[in-house]
Structure 1
Amino acid sequence: MVMLSFLKLYDDYVDEKRLISFTLYNVLRPYLKKITRMYPTSFKKIKELFEKQLLLEKSECQNIDEVAHNFGQILAEIFAYNNDPKLREIGFYTGVWIYLVDAIDDYIDDVKKKRYNCLKYHLQRCKENSALFEREISILKVSLDNYLARLNGLIKGYNNQLLDNIVQLGMYSKTEEVINKLKANFFKELKM
């Protein structure tokens, strides 16, 4: 996570010249040197995927799967620091879920502030068509449920009640919460 924070702070500083990002970037630098020595292959792969993520977002990628799956690959690398294939898969599905739920949660704000959101292309077509909006949301919900079902199956092998509760209660309820919030506010907040 230090790697991701470091790369994000660096990107924020380069893009927006934010002094706070530069300061925090420098605070993390000694920790990053230690981590890159310990996990050089993981760091290289995470850096490459992070740069690809930035490129996808800056190019306004309209392919939801491509951008969400790339983020999933980043978390897969973090989770599988010890090359455990099951942890890699858990990281992937967790990352895809996080990216999509965050996109849903931030959608209205991102549209208002003219920021990138992977859902923009798909949902902007729905502004005057509530049936199309419901269809798009339904497809998104099914996708999220499928990712969580796969994740749920993976963590069962760990026989851990805490993990079960996080996925079954926390992640499913968060999915419902952000989708319901978007459904309740989409037409109100994004008036034509």
Structure 2
Amino acid sequence: MKAFLTASLILLSPALVLAQTGTTPDTAAAKPAAKHVTKPAARHVAKKKPVVSTNRQNLKSAAINAAAGIEAADAALTPAELAIAQRVYVGSLPCELGATVTLAPDPKTPGYFDVRGKNFSYRMFPVVTSTGAVRLEDQKAGAVWLQLSNKSMLLNEKLGQRMADECKSPAQATVAENMKEHPGPGLLDAPVKTGAASAATK
């Protein structure tokens, strides 16, 4: 009987050893699987995005304009550009549709202007033009302020939009009124003949 039990134990020993070694790799394999499951969960929490503000576009525009302002502040203006800056009408200018655009010179950087209105803010500097019109630009944002004798307008060249039109300082309003009262000759109007010219045609 003892011999039978001893023989049985000897035969079962390899099976027990194999069973133990068989469970060890499974346990080891199970541990990395558990780690693999928990890591993505931790990453998902870390990547959680904040709530998007309704003014996100305005904040982004302000950040872009601030960066453009920093770059523009480093650029020195030429004497011609500084001369243009002296001709810019400053203050709050009423525009069409009840809009208002405010131009304020930068006291720290001569020649630069802060141009503000509803939903926009730009830092602009003068640019020399071939027509002689006063032109301010915020090249980073693509914004352009054009000042003519009778009105000013704000354009966004990147968006292809006219953001404000018919903006007038008191001086521009006077010129616009004079143009209404005394309009110049139209393109299709016949030229006015002088006495000498009419005599020459006879």
Q: Which has the higher contact order (CA 8 A, sep 6+)?
A: 1
TM-score interval (norm. to shorter): under 0.3
Normalized per residue, which structure has more strand? 2
Task: Return the TM-score normalized by structure 1.
Answer: 0.22
Normalized per residue, which structure has more helix? 1
Task: Return the TM-score normalized by structure 2.
Answer: 0.22
